[in-house]
Structure 1
Amino acid sequence: MVRPRYAADAAGIVLGALLDVVFGDPRRWHPVAGFGRFALMVERRTYADDRVAGARFAAVAVGVPVAAAALAGRLTRRRPLARTALVAAATWAALGGTSLAREGRVMADRLESGDLSGARAQLPNLCGRDPSALDPPELARATVESVAENTSDAVVGPLFWGAVAGLPGIVGYRAVNTLDAMVGHRSARYARFGTVSARLDDLANLAPSRLTGALTVAAAPVVSGDPAQALRVWLRDGSRHPSPNSGQCEAAAAGALGVRLGGRNVYGSRVEERPHLGDGGPPAPLDVRRAAALSVTVGAAAVGLAAAARWWRGRR
């Protein structure tokens, strides 16, 4: 017999994923945007150019929503329908897989039609690179890398933590990931203040990124890829990336798609030279479309695993 609250969590995860498939990200009143406004308010009251202030900021900005989620979970322990609805809403708000795949397909459409200016205008929807001087192969590479990385951040990550900790796990992961996007990047203002937020995000994604890599290897046949090649490239190149997590996803995707990723990336005035991942040639527009399909497949597998894990944990 499965305890009702765990069954409700499993059902909520599946229902929330279905809501993401049908509706994608909410276009108005997105809860993550509301959290962003809350985090900005906390930042205004805690900011100082040092890591201690950044730690206080992260503790409040993550701790408050996690505490609220834990309280809501406690109040719905004996109300399975309410709990299912709550977990479904949080899962829908935390997931971004449908929107991610859609943006990838739009890029593929524009590259296939030769619409270079449209493709450059599309790239900011996927990543923060400067698209102004990028040619079609570089736009395709940027898209494949972004889709691979964000399959972990926007799909597998919240599902993994939902499986581990239920509603507080989903909310806490999304809070940490959002803080990293807000203050974890390199800049004069956040060089020290954002350090704790960035490291929290690294820790929160250690397991999800590697699960994403494993699921990408398993899903390679869906995009006519070779799982053995994907596994070989993942194990060989996954740790070459400067990020402890992004490289796991990108290397596995490079192996599954049979392409080569990495190279010179321009972010405004900052230039980074990334190591090459994979053995193939540069991604083509068709590979962008394949990357979107791979992301959808990995996401579907992650939903099933998360729901099954939550259900199994609730067995008496």
Structure 2
Amino acid sequence: MAMGVALLADRLFGEPPARWHPVVGIGRYLAWSGRRLPERPAGRAWAAGCLGWAAGACAVTAAAAAAEHLLRRGLPDGSPATALALAAVLGLLLKPMLAWRLLREEVQAVEAALAQGLDAGRAQVARLASRDTAALSAAQVRETAIETLAENLNDSVIAPLFWFAVAGLPGAVLFRYANTADAMWGYRGRWEWAGKCAARADDALAWLPARLCARALLPWRMGWRRLAAEARRTPSPNGGWPMGAMALALDVRLRKPGVYTLHAQGREPVATDVAAAVRRGARGLAGCAAALAVLAAAVRSFGGAA
């Protein structure tokens, strides 16, 4: 029930103000500690990155565990009213770890911007993807928007829900921390070595949710082997799964120039495909949320029995 509350709060209210947003706070810590990480030598940078990542991970996970523990002590399971109150408060605490409404609106804004002109579309999609958008065609702008929707459906919604189902609020917070650290430290450049721990941790935590997300996006008539072949075309161990599933589901080609092409036999996306991707993402999210609610109940039941 807490996951339903979180998704409802996301739909109704969107993101909390930045000054109160936990993920913004995580970003501030990562920026502060990242400025203190050495770039070389490689071994020292790697060790410092691991320590900096672990310190932040322990802090945010401990805070989330303490909050959930105090909440459960204050609202112990028992009557339906206290169970409902517990789910409502837990859902509100979970909400900042999810960002489906924001993702959906930003992707939908790409098509609205393209209606004003190609330059406007390029500028809007540049808010979503860390790539050079200056020379993208209209079709490539749509490809980038659809790729971003598919990949971030997992990173920003389904993976936090998965880890909440498995490990409660600490699990969701740890994943969001790991994903944010990967986004800030995990790319090549200044933090090539210091960010390796962040990148590997995000890869490990997103591995299973990414495949669950892909299964939810992929029509059942399409085989898993076909999706796996597409997913392997990307350098990411996880990102190719939801992106490949979306490409096959919509029968469109998705490309990152010079890096990969997914479903090369597909057509170029047209104006209606971005909206179709949003609708498929919403249906996939609904299916995943239902499955994860069952998983959460099973985990809680097993924990209670133990």
Partner of 1:67: 62
Q: 1:56 aligns with which of 51, 55, 73?
A: 51
Match of 1:197 in 2: 198
Deviation at 1:230, TM superposition (A): 6.7
**Which residue is 2:15 aligned to?**
25
Quote the offset at 1:73 in angstroms.
Answer: 2.1
Deviation at 1:278, TM superposition (A): 5.0
Which TM-score applies when normalising by structure 2?
A: 0.88
Distance 1:304 1:276, change over 3 A: closer
Cross-structure match for 2:221 = 228
- Is 1:88 aligned with 2:53? no
Write the letter of the residue equivalent to 1:206.
Answer: W
CA distance in 1, matches of 2:295, 2:260: 36
Correspondence for 1:3 = none
Corresponding residue for residue 118 of structure 1: 120
| CA RMSD after TM alignment | 1.9
Tell me which stretches of 4 or more aligned residues in structure 1 moved more than 4 Å.
44-48
Find the counterpart in structure 2 of residue 144 from structure 1. Answer: 146
Higher RCO (C-alpha under 8 Å, 6+ residues apart): 1
- Does the 8 Å contact 1:73/1:167 carry over to 2? yes
Q: Equivalent residues in 2 for 1:1-316 (5 A)?
A: 11-29=1-19, 30-45=21-36, 47=38, 49=40, 50-80=45-75, 83-111=86-114, 113=115, 115-187=117-189, 189-217=190-218, 220=219, 227-229=220-222, 231=224, 233-264=226-257, 272-315=258-301, 316=305
- Aligned residues, how many? 289
Q: Which runs of 5+ in 2 are unaligned?
A: 76-81
Residue 263 of structure 1 and its aligned partner are, at CA, apart by: 4.2
Q: Does the residue aligned with 2:126 lie in a helix, a strand or coil? A: helix
Q: Distance in 2 between matches of 1:17 and 1:100?
A: 13
Q: Which amino acid in 2 is paired with 1:244?
A: P
In structure 1, runs of 5+ residues without a counterpart are 1-10, 221-226, 265-271
Change (3 A) 1:27 1:70: closer
* CA spacing shift, 1:193–1:184, aligned 2, 3 Å: same
Question: Which secondary structure state, in structure 2, belongs to the residue aligned with residue 169 of structure 1?
Answer: helix
Comparing 117-126 with 137-146, which one deviates more in the overlay?
Answer: 117-126
Distance 2:151 2:172 in 1: 18
User: Does the 8 A contact of 1:157 with 1:209 survive in 2?
Assistant: yes
Which has the larger displacement, 119-128 or 76-85?
76-85
* Matched letter for residue 247 of structure 2: A
TM, length-normalised to structure 1 = 0.85
